[in-house]
Structure 1
Amino acid sequence: MVGEENEVIRNIKTRRSVRDYTDKQVSEESINTIIDAGIHAPTGFGSEPWFFVVIQNREMMQRMSDYCKPKLLSQLEDVPSDNVTEFKKMLKKEEFDIFYNAPLLIIVLGSNAGFTTDYDCAMCAQNMMLAAHSMGIGSCWVGTACFIQDNEEFMSELGIPYDYRVIAPIVFGYEGKVRERPPRQEPEVVWIH
């Protein structure tokens, strides 16, 4: 790559999805810093369409995991990818936790009224994960958890307003077993001068 890497570029390039966490809880101050980084993401028309639910209750996260696993399994039934086949095996294991036993789950929700809500909340989520990484805290966007949207009991228990939907469920915590970050493929780029 051309050019010198600065601290921001290094943070982006070294962040990865963490799937093994210690039991150490993330402090409230760190959680607030992570969310604050999220809300500084750009939004279409300055809408700021987000709402956050912070969950540190392992029993609730376990119930959510148990609810979501069979939902995803049924959707992946006919997907013929080797990676998906391995993931389906994991989903079938009773002890498998879709949240990877992380001590913290922050759900980024988006307003149904927003025109650019999905994009805005995705940029918010990326800011949050990059901020966490810069603080030595791992993260992983767990798309499987979006199935809680279909469960009125969870939505009510979590205090989610009726006009919001789950966009980005992200777990955070301190990394346990460190995995190497897989190399990125060279992108295909069309240049038009």
Structure 2
Amino acid sequence: MAGEDNEIIRNIKARRSVRNYLDRPVSEESVKAIIDAGIYAPTGFGSEPWFFVVVQNKEMMKRMSDYCKPKLLAQLQDIPNDNVTDFKKQLSHEDFDVFYGAPILVIVLGSNAGFTTDYDCAMCAQNMMLAATSLGIGSCWVGTACFIQDNVEFMSELGIPYDYRVIAPIVFGYEGKAAGRSPRKEPRAVWIR
């Protein structure tokens, strides 16, 4: 297939959502490189609407995890999907960590004033996850953590400006026990020639 020998395409295909991390810190230099890659994402009208919060404090991450689990569980109650059922069981366990034991959480926040903020920050997040993969660092976008947006105490502790919202909470770290990657379906596409 075309592109198989292309380093960028190989990196894109190597990226996966890691849900098991070693108790090993990620260097500040690596985190800065990952965030720097993020800010090269395209933005509507050149707005660059992002703001980043880096959390390494395990106690704070545990409090956030404990706060978010019941919120998500309540939202998932009526969804009959098998994958959701398994995840609901995990969320029900007191010791389950929505951050999967990762040493670092980077929260990508977006300005409420931006017209294309959600898209811009999602592209920034993807750049960050690809950069992490290229550095041998695992990542996972943890949507569950978006519930911290509803908690004034967390928003204040994290120093999040009042005019920003949580878009992409992403954990980073070195992968522990590797899990296989789910195969991808063939893309559905219509060609107009």
Partner of 2:34: 34
**Per-residue Cα deviation, 1:95-137 (whole angstroms, up to 9, x for no partner):** 0000001000000000000000000000000000000000000
Partner of 1:145: 145
Give the residue type in structure 2 aligned to 1:38: G
Partner of 1:85: 85
Of all paired residues, the percent bearing the same amino acid is 80
Q: Give the distance between the partners of 2:31 and 2:188, measured in 1 at CA.
A: 37
* Long gaps (5+) in structure 2: none
Give the residue type in structure 2 aligned to 1:94: E
TM-score by length of 2: 0.99
Partner of 1:165: 165
1:180 shift after superposition: 1.2
Q: How many residues align?
A: 193
Contact 2:4 2:10 in 1 (8 A): no
Partner of 2:47: 47
**Per-residue Cα deviation, 1:45-69 (whole angstroms, up to 9, x for no partner):** 0000000000000000000000000
Give the residue type in structure 1 aligned to 2:65: S
Q: Does 2:58 match 1:58? A: yes
In structure 2, relative to structure 1, the CA distance for the partners of 1:71 and 1:184 (3 Å cut) is same
Partner of 2:101: 101
Counterparts of 1:3-18 in structure 2, within 5 Å, are 3-18=3-18
For the residue of structure 2 that corresponds to 1:105, the secondary structure is: strand
Q: Does 2:102 match 1:134? A: no
TM-score by length of 1: 0.99
Superposed CA RMSD in Å reads 0.7
In structure 2, relative to structure 1, the CA distance for the partners of 1:188 and 1:137 (3 Å cut) is same
Partner of 1:19: 19
Q: Give the distance between the partners of 1:90 and 1:177, measured in 2 at CA.
A: 18
1:2 shift after superposition: 3.5
Q: Give the distance between the partners of 1:141 and 1:3, measured in 2 at CA.
A: 26
For the residue of structure 2 that corresponds to 1:36, the secondary structure is: helix
**Per-residue Cα deviation, 1:136-156 (whole angstroms, up to 9, x for no partner):** 000000000000000000000
Q: Give the distance between the partners of 1:102 and 1:180, measured in 2 at CA.
A: 19
For the residue of structure 2 that corresponds to 1:107, the secondary structure is: strand
Partner of 1:75: 75
Give the residue type in structure 1 aligned to 2:121: C
**4+ runs deviating over 4 angstroms:** none
Q: Give the distance between the partners of 2:140 and 2:188, measured in 1 at CA.
A: 26
**Per-residue Cα deviation, 1:17-55 (whole angstroms, up to 9, x for no partner):** 000000111000001000000000000000000000000
Give the residue type in structure 1 aligned to 2:140: C
Q: Give the distance between the partners of 1:161 and 1:119, measured in 2 at CA.
A: 20
Q: Give the distance between the partners of 1:3 and 1:176, measured in 2 at CA.
A: 30
Q: Give the distance between the partners of 2:50 and 2:77, measured in 1 at CA.
A: 32
For the residue of structure 1 that corresponds to 2:54, the secondary structure is: strand
Contact 2:21 2:100 in 1 (8 A): yes
Q: Does 2:116 match 1:116? A: yes
1:187 shift after superposition: 1.0
